[in-house]
Structure 1
Amino acid sequence: MANEISIEYGEFEDWRGKKADPTKHGGVRASSIACVVEVLENMVFLSNATNFVTYFLKSMHYPAAESANMVTNFMGTSFLLTILGGFISDSFVTKFKTFIIFCTLELLGLILLTIQAQDSRLQPAINNKPSRSQEAILYTGLYAIAAGVGGVKAALPAHGADQLDHSNQRLISSFFNWFFFSVCFGGLIASTVMIWIEENLGWNWSFKISVVTLSVALCIFSMGFPIYRYKRPGGSPLTRIYKVLASAIGNRKVSLSEAENIEIFGNRNHDKSRFLNRALIGDTVTANEVEETKTFLGLLPIFASTIMMNCCLAQLMTFSVQQGNIMNRSLNNFKIPAQSLSVFPLMIMLASIPLYEYLVRLFRIKNNLPSKFNMFQPLRRIGLGLALASGSMAAAATVEAKRREAANNNVILSVFWLGWQYLLLGISDMLTLGGMLEFFYSEAPDSMRSISTALSWISTSMGYFISSALVTISNSVSGHFGKEWLGGNDLNHSRLDLFYTLLCILNFLNLLNYIFWAKRY
């Protein structure tokens, strides 16, 4: 039975439901479509994330603090809902259909907000908050987009990787490198072209362009259907995990030696989860389901260890932008928009990915290594990224202390001083997120690749939420000892440097925690 399940999960089909032909279906050409689509989709997502603040303030007349929280909640929810998209993709429909469904949902949400933005009757009067019906339209469109983004980001990278030969880990690694390149390239367009459009032509143009761009992305992805290969969903993996856990707990009084007399399917027996072998007592659970559960549970400590890095990443969209707004942003006769500061790390990341691919290829050829050679294993790549996250917060604390001291002496520092924290955290994000996508996809049970890939985005979501919680806790604790670190609206009278120092220490401790779990994996 277990062998039959494994074979079923491993088979790929063409769009007619017949066995996929390796010469006609899948391959680099099919997977590259996912990268092209991700450029357009991420451009739409990030440009709207920056556009929403202006829209909520100027058109919907929400207070500044409430507008900022609405955007933070939107982004956090978008990434969190990747678990829903991953679950549907692994359980009920193919990754192709999951993308089509959720991308269409995101497009419908965008169209609804575009209509509201163009019709003054659907907006509140000046200095008035929206009515209930206006809020209903706003939140329906907003969270339709969030749900759509969640499904798209869960299904798209897994669908792209499914097109490749899984025995060639170097090819899988290369795909995720270029997929991350696409994420960054979409972010670069959002941080330059879209911000220029918003500032010079008006934020309402952003909605119109987003609708057209996402429609093009949906069409491009759909046109590839004849050359894709598809994997049939294997039913709810969460149900199987629950069944294994329930059976293991129910048989907890049975000795492990008795349970392990039953032949274990496969060659991956995670000793650290041996207690799950008790689930094999009886006929309700297969050995394949036990191994699937062990493998997925083994990913969770690595996932949890990456959340704190994303907490640092959240600062680039909040406090770093506030710092930039009160620093000297002039470059000759051009004034750099504070929201465009992320251009610098994005450009570094975009350059580093093809450079990395070139160096790996050069090293492989020079040393006569096989084409499957992979220079950096994902766990080492993630670890390096987490180390750089701690270093970025140390740099951020140092720069903020210097900026604050200069401001007290009526000197305004150049915004380029922020380049250190943007650069280090940008490279950290490249290493960590790229490594996570590859690691969770490659190590995941065959029937749980979408859910496991979604863990990378859920880590980002939880990082945003924990960032908000840390700000609240820091203010509460520091307020008891005199003055809140981040109280008020003037950073010159706040202690953002101490908050960055706290993040540096927490990230260093988190790095030690990660090393512990990575060595045990």
Structure 2
Amino acid sequence: MDIEAMKPELVEGKVDWKGRTALKYKHGGMRAALLLLVTFGFENTATLALSVNLITYFTGVMHFKLADGANQLTNFMGTSYILTILVAVLADTYIGRFKAALISGCIEFLGLALLTVQAHYSNLRPPPCNPVDEMAHCEKVKGQDAAILFIGIYLLAFGSGGIKASLPTHGADQFDEKDPRETWQMSSFFNCLLLAICVGGAASLTLLVWVQDNKGWDWGFGLSSIAMFIGVIIFAAGLPLYRIQVTRGTSAIIEIIQVYVAAIRKRNLRLPRDPMELYEVDKLEEAASELEFLPHGNTFRFLDKAAILETRPEQDGTRPGERAPPSPWRLCRLTQVENAKIILGMVPIFCCTIIMTLCLAQLQTFSVQQGVTMDATVAGSFTIPPASLPILPVAFLIVIIPVYDRILVPLARKLTGHPTGITHLQRIGVGLVLSSISMAVAGLMEIKRKGVARSHNMLAAIPVAQPLPISIFWLSFQYFIFGIADMFTYVGLLEFFYSEAPKALKSISTCFLWSSMALGYFFSTVIVNIVNSATKGITRSGGWLAGNNINRNHLNLFYFLLSILSLLNFLVYLFFARRYKYRAQAPAILG
């Protein structure tokens, strides 16, 4: 048998479930990735309905005020996304991405099961009342019932964050970046990931939202629990097919911190003229390891000081002129420094995507409450739940994503010569512009909705009891535009962070997307409070977004404010994106 001929079938740095080196013909590829896409689809089925309709549960069942309920939802979403960093570190360093995803799925199932129990038993909830009626005195959830609610919510947040942190990168691990035959498949995988989200979201926004609104929240949470359970079973069943990334045993985040500490400690040293004098381990001596070696870059040169070799005489028993034993907090590898530079270069792009999630948070909270006040009937009898409105852009994406991936991308590839048609940064920029347009359209739609309320003397009416004579489909424009923005920006971000990051930082880099979304949700809570405080003295309602009667609020002005902020954010993004230097491709990984 020709051993050399067998080498291309081995996948370096990845093993099967028994710890043996993974084989290309047996492990990974689109066949294994398909199971992960199905799992992500079921997970999204279980959770997307909650991200748009949980505001109704908070205000209608747990009796939070509208602004407080919106803040509870955005805090929940933000926590879910920020926890992706913790899970990514654990996945890369200790337990691996497969185990991280499996454990997270089980925790998410437990959270949904606990919420199902609370929604089913009336003694675990506040007594019913009409929270929209300003004359009613509704008792907000408290004590033991509040503890059950928040334990369930944040178990769900931790599990969902863990799935988002580990599943996409575990899916990308099924492809070999050094094999041209699999490179385009990995790009297609990220597009299919959005398609899986949309298909799962379509089921969630139709079936689950209808069940929540018409059969009860216990049935809604119960179906979410079943969907999550099925997803976990499918994911676990694919274990024999997966390529599993070998854990490193050291935290990439710690290594980045070491670079900054070492650079600060040696800030007074002068950089050598020749970058070859900077510290790097011997590549031949490390050939048996899986270290990645990156070339020196000319950006952020102040970090290069972390790799300056020092000579300190007569220290710790060393002879005069002898180099002291390297400490990782004082001397870092050149590749380690370059990793820190790559992450630092991504930070401005990361920051410029926060505003987009801030806009998304409003579509999941205040836009749903807009829909509650409007006529949701179709064909005279069927009623559309307001939280199901995002099904319109989701349905469009289900159609357009295959067209984009199989027709538009290959066509653009021929015109531009770029493997993904257009660059990742161009794709992100298109989405940022569309998010600004979406908020402007949302403001115009709110002006129209309030105009109908004013013309029918219904500004002071109880919205739930007396819907306005205007179709809920008017809100579809803002959802539709933002749905297209999703396709460009969020998938573009996932591809950008994964492709730009070095091997040691794959999971953590993709968490940039989820972290930016987390900060967007948290920032939503902050800006709602700031806007209410700033406008409290100039409006009769006590602020643009104060109170539970949205007909008397100034939501249109809030939407226009977000549109302006989004446009300014895009201009800042344009400045940094034009100056961003894509990372140099690393030489082959030795070992």
What is the deviation of 1:424? 1.0
What is the deviation of 1:326? 2.1
| Aligned partners of 2:116 and 2:219 also within 8 Å | no
Matches within 5 A, 1:399-410: 399-410=445-456
Choose the corresponding residue for 2:500, options 443, 454, 473: 443
- The list of structure 1 runs, each at least 4 consecutive aligned residues, that deviate by more than 6 angstroms after superposition, is none
| Aligned partners of 1:233 and 1:447 also within 8 Å | no
Counterpart residue type for residue 166 of structure 1: E
Matches within 5 A, 1:492-507: 492-507=551-566
Choose the corresponding residue for 2:407, options 348, 359, 362: 359
Q: 1:455 to 1:122 in 2, by over 3 A?
A: same
| Structure 1 runs not aligned, ≥5 long | 1-8
Q: Secondary structure at the match of 2:475?
A: helix
What is the deviation of 1:505? 1.1
What is the deviation of 1:41? 0.5
> In the alignment, what sits opposite 2:365?
318
| Aligned partners of 2:279 and 2:308 also within 8 Å | no
Q: 1:488 to 1:132 in 2, by over 3 A?
A: closer
Task: Give distance in 2, aligned partners of 1:394 and 1:112.
Answer: 39
What is the deviation of 1:308? 0.5
Counterpart residue type for residue 451 of structure 2: E
Q: Secondary structure at the match of 1:271?
A: coil
Choose the corresponding residue for 1:307, options 337, 342, 354: 354
Matches within 5 A, 1:193-212: 193-212=207-226
Task: Kindly indicate whether residue 429 of structure 2 is the aligned counterpart of residue 383 of structure 1.
Answer: yes
What is the deviation of 1:472? 2.0
1:123-167 superposed Cα distances (whole Å, 9 cap, x missing partner): 456676556333333322221111111111100000001101214
Task: Give distance in 2, aligned partners of 1:404 and 1:456.
Answer: 35
What is the deviation of 1:467? 1.8
1:168-189 superposed Cα distances (whole Å, 9 cap, x missing partner): 4432221111101111222211
Task: Give distance in 2, aligned partners of 1:51 and 1:16.
Answer: 43
Q: 1:480 to 1:196 in 2, by over 3 A?
A: closer
| Aligned partners of 2:52 and 2:365 also within 8 Å | no
Q: Give the stretch that moved more between structures: 265-274 or 354-363.
A: 265-274
> In the alignment, what sits opposite 1:244?
259
Choose the corresponding residue for 2:536, options 452, 457, 479: 479
Alignment TM-score, normalising by the size of structure 1:
0.91
Q: Give the stretch that moved more between structures: 49-58 or 489-498.
A: 49-58
Task: Give distance in 1, aligned partners of 2:149 and 2:369.
Answer: 26
> In the alignment, what sits opposite 1:3?
none
Q: Give the stretch that moved more between structures: 231-240 or 112-121.
A: 112-121
| Aligned partners of 2:431 and 2:487 also within 8 Å | yes
> In the alignment, what sits opposite 2:200?
186
Q: 1:211 to 1:66 in 2, by over 3 A?
A: same
Task: Give distance in 1, aligned partners of 2:570 and 2:412.
Answer: 30
Q: Give the stretch that moved more between structures: 64-73 or 121-130.
A: 121-130
Matches within 5 A, 1:148-187: 148-167=159-178, 168=180, 169-187=183-201
What is the deviation of 1:67? 4.0
> In the alignment, what sits opposite 2:288?
none
Q: Give the stretch that moved more between structures: 149-158 or 45-54.
A: 45-54
| Aligned partners of 1:244 and 1:279 also within 8 Å | yes
Matches within 5 A, 1:268-307: 268-282=295-309, 283=326, 284-307=331-354
Q: 1:511 to 1:51 in 2, by over 3 A?
A: closer
What is the deviation of 1:24? 0.9
Q: Give the stretch that moved more between structures: 174-183 or 209-218.
A: 209-218
1:195-216 superposed Cα distances (whole Å, 9 cap, x missing partner): 1222332221122222222111
Task: Give distance in 2, aligned partners of 1:397 and 1:420.
Answer: 11
| Aligned partners of 2:88 and 2:511 also within 8 Å | yes
Counterpart residue type for residue 333 of structure 2: T
Structure holding more helix per residue: 1
Q: Give the stretch that moved more between structures: 113-122 or 510-519.
A: 113-122
| Aligned partners of 2:71 and 2:525 also within 8 Å | no
Task: Give distance in 2, aligned partners of 1:176 and 1:35.
Answer: 10
Q: Secondary structure at the match of 2:272?
A: helix
Q: 1:402 to 1:56 in 2, by over 3 A?
A: closer
Q: Secondary structure at the match of 2:375?
A: coil
> In the alignment, what sits opposite 1:45?
47
1:306-334 superposed Cα distances (whole Å, 9 cap, x missing partner): 01011111111122112222223232212
What is the deviation of 1:509? 0.9
| Aligned partners of 1:172 and 1:438 also within 8 Å | no
> Computing the radius of gyration over CA atoms, which structure comes out larger, 1 or 2?
2
> In the alignment, what sits opposite 2:105?
103
Task: Kindly indicate whether residue 255 of structure 2 is the aligned counterpart of residue 255 of structure 1.
Answer: no
Q: Give the stretch that moved more between structures: 9-18 or 201-210.
A: 9-18
| Aligned partners of 1:296 and 1:445 also within 8 Å | no
Counterpart residue type for residue 189 of structure 1: A
| Aligned partners of 1:118 and 1:204 also within 8 Å | yes
Task: Give distance in 1, aligned partners of 2:405 and 2:447.
Answer: 38
Q: 1:509 to 1:130 in 2, by over 3 A?
A: closer
| Aligned partners of 2:112 and 2:221 also within 8 Å | yes
Q: 1:243 to 1:508 in 2, by over 3 A?
A: same
Q: Secondary structure at the match of 2:240?
A: coil
Task: Give distance in 2, aligned partners of 1:360 and 1:49.
Answer: 31
Q: Secondary structure at the match of 2:211?
A: helix
Task: Give distance in 2, aligned partners of 1:27 and 1:368.
Answer: 28
Q: Give the stretch that moved more between structures: 228-237 or 404-413.
A: 404-413
Counterpart residue type for residue 301 of structure 1: P
Task: Give distance in 1, aligned partners of 2:553 and 2:377.
Answer: 24
1:197-255 superposed Cα distances (whole Å, 9 cap, x missing partner): 22332221122222222111111111111111111122211110111110001111112
Q: 1:11 to 1:362 in 2, by over 3 A?
A: closer
Q: 1:504 to 1:364 in 2, by over 3 A?
A: closer
Alignment TM-score, normalising by the size of structure 2:
0.81
Counterpart residue type for residue 154 of structure 1: A
Task: Give distance in 2, aligned partners of 1:488 and 1:336.
Answer: 25
